[in-house]
Amino acid sequence: MEKLSIFKNAKVLVTGHNGFKGTWLTAWLVKLGAQVTGVSLATNTNPSHYNLCYFDGSVDSRHIDVCDIDGLTNVVQEIQPDFVFHLAAQALVRRAYRDPVDAWKTNTIGTVNILEALRCLEKHCVAIMITSDKCYDNVEWAWGYRETDALGGPDPYSASKAAAELAIRSYVKSFLVKGGPVRLGIGRAGNVIGGGDWSEDRIIPDCVKAWGRGDRVAIRSPLATRPWQHVLEPLSGYLNLAVALNESSELHGEPFNFGPADGLNRSVLDLVTTMAESWSQVRWDDISSDSEGPYESGLLKLNCDKALHFLNWQPTWNFDVTVRETAKWYQEYYTKEPVSILDFTSKQIDSYMSEAKSQNKNWAN
């Protein structure tokens, strides 16, 4: 039996369900037959992948701020979830520089609030807490960070994510102890790309918005490298971690990196030029010499051996396929009726699952 079948008819709470990763996870869970309740602020991009999907009655969507501890606790007590995926975050590095208080409140206090809501739960529940690869104290060394490496971060976003990790560790040690009703895992993902992301100050949204208008796109840091991966890659990791925790408490409280295979970090320029192969009449300007923006890391790599060893998880799509599938999604949006987007999103999930099965991925069979 397919491992992901455990989500059929399960009550699943997703925070940040209308964000970039949250929308893809919600679409996948709906396909799996889950009863999804989503908790988020109103969508803050236009267009919005979530709004374009028209989930109708298949998702119980609640506009609750994760900084509202009473609202979170009430919804957890009301729905009595079998699974919780905490994705709600302020996920933009540059916005965090402009409003560090909001980043700290959302990413750190918001995480504490969902942990506190879980502490009041008395039934079996698996919770996957999503932080970031930027939670590490990045000294830009050439090898990938392991889950045991030091946490930190010089900028407000990274530091707020590291602080969220400390809060999670504290709750696991103090309240959500092994043997209790709540089993918890932590997901740290590398940079994700894919259709439906229209966030500010991100390279793929910047490209497609400019190219969709026939304009040039400005590239701030063409030589910066990142562990690029399709959004479905870490989501498969989160789902797989939830399956493992549902079966056993052995991995309770453990963090896991989910990123591309070692050695597959690629530069921003590689990403843009590969994207251009699937997009006609693209142009860009290198403004790195003119950029005086705030600090952003130049090199960041993850070591995902722990996910391979304990979860038998590996990425499915290579870099070229990842970029091609991302380009396909935006071309579908810009050239066809937007009402087809949910179907196309669903087809890409099917394609990803089919490829994972053909590669004999343990979690996909």
The domains located in the chain, with CATH, are 3-364 (3.40.50.720)
| pLDDT greater than 70 at residue 297 | no
For residues 76 and 121, the answer to whether their CB atoms sit within 8 Å is: yes
Query: How much is the mean pLDDT over the chain?
Result: 90
The dihedral through the CA atoms of 264, 266, 270, 276 has a sign that is positive
For residues 158 and 97, the answer to whether their CB atoms sit within 8 Å is: no
Q: How confident is the model at residue 231 (pLDDT cuts 50, 70, 90)?
A: very high
**From CA 178, how far away is CA 167, in angstroms rounded?**
16
**From CA 58, how far away is CA 79, in angstroms rounded?**
15
Q: Return the CA Rg of the chain.
A: 19
Reduced DSSP (H G I as helix, E B as strand, rest coil) percent helix, strand, coil of the chain, to 5 = 45, 15, 40
For residues 130 and 89, the answer to whether their CB atoms sit within 8 Å is: yes
Between residues 227 and 354, the one the model is more confident about = 354
Lowest mean pLDDT among 101-110, 254-263, 281-290, 324-333: 281-290
- What pLDDT is attached to residue 107? 96
Q: What is the mean pLDDT of residues 32-42?
A: 96
Q: What is the mean pLDDT of residues 261-290?
A: 76
Provide long-range contacts, Cβ within 8 A and 24+ apart, for 213-218: 214/281, 215/283, 216/283, 216/284, 216/285, 217/272, 217/282, 217/283, 217/284, 217/285, 218/284, 218/285, 218/287
Cα dist. 191→21, 187, 274, 307 in Å?
11, 13, 16, 17
- What pLDDT is attached to residue 338? 60
- What pLDDT is attached to residue 1? 44
| pLDDT greater than 90 at residue 245 | yes
- What pLDDT is attached to residue 261? 78
Lowest mean pLDDT among 137-141, 239-243, 353-357: 137-141
Contacts for 98 with CB less than 8 Å, ≥ 6 apart: none
- In the chain the beta strands, taken as DSSP E runs, fall at 11-15, 35-40, 59-63, 83-86, 125-130, 182-189, 192-193, 217-219, 225-226, 229-230, 255-258, 266-267, 284-286
| pLDDT greater than 60 at residue 290 | no
Question: DSSP 3-state assignment of 34?
Answer: coil
| pLDDT greater than 60 at residue 292 | no
Provide long-range contacts, Cβ within 8 A and 24+ apart, for 294-297: 294/93, 294/94, 294/97, 294/155, 295/154, 295/155, 296/93, 296/155, 296/221, 296/224, 297/134, 297/138, 297/140, 297/224
Show the tokens assigned to 250. Answer: 């052995």
Looking at 54-155, list the stretches that DSSP marks H as alpha helix, in order from N- to C-terminal side.
69-79, 93-98, 100-104, 110-119
Between residues 344 and 56, the one the model is more confident about = 344
DSSP string of 180-214, one letter each residue: SSEEEEEEEE--EE-TT---TT-HHHHHHHHHHTT
Q: Which residue has the tokens 């208008």?
A: 213
- What pLDDT is attached to residue 249? 96
Q: How confident is the model at residue 289 (pLDDT cuts 50, 70, 90)?
A: low
Q: What is the mean pLDDT of residues 236-248?
A: 97
Cα dist. 134→11, 325, 357 in Å?
30, 25, 31
